[in-house]
Chains A and B, each alone.
Chain A
């Protein structure tokens, strides 16, 4: 096992462990005393993020490219983006119970991704893939946009639960532990407010690259169409919120629906990995030649 592989493995282990312990602490803070437990949960989450960042940095420097394409690296980057998005929103919204629902999902993803990314094992250090920097920026922005949409989805689901509990007068322990419906509604819109501009910038960069640089027939690419549909949906949600003055349940339902579209986008993107897109085929050809 090379030094790079060993260090990547080590960082992945620290990441998964930190996120798992952080999940336990968040869960504990939900029903037990908060304060120091919450602080510990946050410290562990930041530790996990730093370790994951180190893992991606080592991987990137070993491969000589931005660690976003190839094998499980895409998922690694997405999980990393999810945690960055969460810590940003947590810092802004200051809703102590949010992490109890979100961090366990990230912890599970981190455990599932414990295997060293395939390009490290297969290609070893020094292999370069011909991915244009514009595409790297495009995908990074889109992924960050998605990460915030995932957070908006979580806020939407929690809002629907709380609102239902209040309407039905069923105020169980979960109801007591969760934030107020107004907080969740605000968080929902805040997360979309963060994610939408990032998603828009990502789409704009990708579109410009597709139109100007390549002869790629983007208008017939399902993933491009799905991404546009997603963008349209979130722009409708924001319009409804700020122009149509809709809030609460309607916005939460739209966000949940938006997450469904997002999942379809990811599935389409996965199925199109071996498809016609210029940069994908470039990666594919380089990876398969090793």
Chain B
């Protein structure tokens, strides 16, 4: 029987040095897909290769661990032996593989739960495989359904909400303080690494202007140039703060340089416009009492870290609800697949009974003509008899079909289908040409 399988490594199972050995560069993926597709019994293949996971999904009919196992082709292509990575590899079959795919797409298996990048990566992996012609059947349908389930999770839960890094939390907070980031001036005081990172995020969010102040003007100029802003000496601090809407401080000063009194003077100068102060420095650059002033919002590195942790907790709280949604979608899809897998058996059963009806009817018809029935009476009897025989065949087929569908709905319709095949002398499963993957484990 053809089955869906996934084999790979992720941040859960393998350290980065193993993951990078198995990671496939984008330009080599088409070649790899074609190589795996060429393995005996493989009908479809998709590769997801990101910094946190390398997973090969394939529909395959063959002996697991046998010589034609697509895993060997994959490892051979990457120049890695099975013994080198065996302890880090995981392999899942059929419904478990499907469940894994659904969880991966919904970002429930990600390093940062709820990150939205993975959905795009899954979509890209499918598109690449589609472009290479290595999908187009049940595996593609499974990917489509996994992406649909992921969108359900994103829409129905808050798992993707809330930033999870200090820099992105600062941008999120700025959005909750100001109407439009594109109208804002950002002032970066000091050249600390973290301050630069926050500035980079602010610039990426589309702020209007950037000004960098530093004791060493050359350093300020370098940073400003990288962000398309301007540099100013630290002596211009008050003037620049009077102009800016957001100030990021990350100097190496031993004492807070922005005291309440100084901040009051600056606020007066700026006409009490709102000021968002992000104090990344340790020790702090801004006196904590400045945060008590009207229209000043002060966040230090601990405050930002606290927001990150709260967001993380909020996301974790959404995991169980997200898993429920994934499970619901998975069960709906699996049930649909199992029912679809019954179609050949149902078609054969009804076809076989139909043939029986027709052969019996032609036999009875010749007998009827022998007993002297003619004309309209003959036609009426013939019609009624034909109808009755067809009705009887349908009634005989109804119960087995119902039972198979019920069993498929409950979880496994293959056993019932096998019995129906035996009872009605239908062709064996093995002898029937199989078209695709069967959802049963």
State the Cβ distance, B287 to closest chain A Cβ, in Å.
Answer: 15
Counting residue pairs across A and B whose Cβ atoms lie within 8 Å, the total is 49
User: Does B173 count as interface, using CB distance less than 8 angstroms?
Assistant: yes
Interface string of B277-313 (1 = CB under 8 A from A): 0000000000000011011010100010011001000
Interface string of B169-206 (1 = CB under 8 A from A): 00001011111000000000000000000000000000
Contact B273 A183 (CB under 8 A): no
Chain A residues in 8 Å Cβ range of B155: 33
Q: Flag the segment in A169-177, A212-220, A270-278 that touches B.
A: A169-177
State the Cβ distance, A171 to closest chain B Cβ, in Å.
Answer: 6
Chain A residues in 8 Å Cβ range of B274: 181-182, 185, 247-248
Which residue of chain A has its CB nearest to the CB of B154? A33
Which residue of chain B has its CB nearest to the CB of A175? B176
Query: How far is it, in angstroms, between the C-alpha of A217 and the C-alpha of B307 when the chains are bound?
Result: 61
- Within 8 Å by CB of A181, from B177, B292, B299, lies B177
Interface string of B259-288 (1 = CB under 8 A from A): 000000000000111100000000000000
Chain A residues in 8 Å Cβ range of B273: 247
Give A152-186 interface residues, CB cut-off 8 Å to B: 162, 166-167, 169, 171, 173, 175-176, 180-183, 185-186
Given A176-B161, A245-B272, A248-B272, CB of A167 within 8 Å of CB of B291: yes
Contact A186 B176 (CB under 8 A): no
Give B114-160 interface residues, CB cut-off 8 Å to A: 155, 158
Contact A182 B178 (CB under 8 A): yes
Residue from A176, A182, A185, A248 with most neighbouring chain B CB atoms (10 Å)? A182
Chain A residues in 8 Å Cβ range of B310: 171
Contact B294 A166 (CB under 8 A): no
Q: Give the size range of B's interface with the partner.
A: 20 to 34
User: Does A250 count as interface, using CB distance less than 8 angstroms?
Assistant: yes
Query: How far is it, in angstroms, between the C-alpha of A183 and the C-alpha of B297 when the chains are bound?
Result: 15
Chain B residues in 8 Å Cβ range of A246: 272
Contact A247 B272 (CB under 8 A): yes
Chain B residues in 8 Å Cβ range of A245: 271-272
Query: How far is it, in angstroms, between the C-alpha of A180 and the C-alpha of B181 when the chains are bound?
Result: 11
Query: How far is it, in angstroms, between the C-alpha of A249 and the C-alpha of B292 when the chains are bound?
Result: 12
Number of A residues with CB within 8 Å of any CB on chain B? 21
State the Cβ distance, A262 to closest chain B Cβ, in Å.
Answer: 24
Chain A residues in 8 Å Cβ range of B272: 245-248
Contact B294 A180 (CB under 8 A): no
Given A169-B303, A247-B272, CB of A180 within 8 Å of CB of B175: yes
Interface string of A68-110 (1 = CB under 8 A from B): 0000000000000000000000000000000000000000000
Query: How far is it, in angstroms, between the C-alpha of A249 and the C-alpha of B271 when the chains are bound?
Result: 14
Contact A247 B295 (CB under 8 A): yes
Query: How far is it, in angstroms, between the C-alpha of A223 and the C-alpha of B15 when the chains are bound?
Result: 78
Which residue of chain A has its CB nearest to the CB of B161? A176
- Within 8 Å by CB of A249, from B177, B178, B295, B306, lies B295
Contact A248 B295 (CB under 8 A): yes
State the Cβ distance, B296 to closest chain A Cβ, in Å.
Answer: 9
Given A33-B155, A245-B272, CB of A166 within 8 Å of CB of B295: no
Query: How far is it, in angstroms, between the C-alpha of A33 and the C-alpha of B155 when the chains are bound?
Result: 7
Given A33-B155, A182-B274, A248-B272, CB of A166 within 8 Å of CB of B173: yes
State the Cβ distance, A135 to closest chain B Cβ, in Å.
Answer: 41
Which residue of chain B has its CB nearest to the CB of A181? B177
Query: How far is it, in angstroms, between the C-alpha of A210 and the C-alpha of B288 when the chains are bound?
Result: 57
Query: How far is it, in angstroms, between the C-alpha of A249 and the C-alpha of B272 when the chains are bound?
Result: 11
State the Cβ distance, A115 to closest chain B Cβ, in Å.
Answer: 41
State the Cβ distance, A30 to closest chain B Cβ, in Å.
Answer: 12
State the Cβ distance, A117 to closest chain B Cβ, in Å.
Answer: 41
Give B360-416 interface residues, CB cut-off 8 Å to A: none
Give B197-243 interface residues, CB cut-off 8 Å to A: none
Query: How far is it, in angstroms, between the C-alpha of A33 and the C-alpha of B153 when the chains are bound?
Result: 12
Chain A residues in 8 Å Cβ range of B306: 169
State the Cβ distance, B352 to closest chain A Cβ, in Å.
Answer: 50
Known: A167-B291, A247-B274, A248-B274. 16 other contacts (CB 8 A): A162-B176, A166-B173, A166-B297, A169-B303, A169-B307, A171-B310, A175-B176, A176-B161, A180-B176, A180-B177, A180-B178, A182-B177, A183-B179, A186-B179, A245-B271, A248-B272
Interface set of A (CB-CB < 8 Å, partner B): 33, 162, 166-167, 169, 171, 173, 175-176, 180-183, 185-186, 245-250
Sorted nearest first, the 6 A-B pairs with minimum C-beta distance are: A245-B271, A248-B295, A182-B179, A182-B178, A183-B179, A249-B294
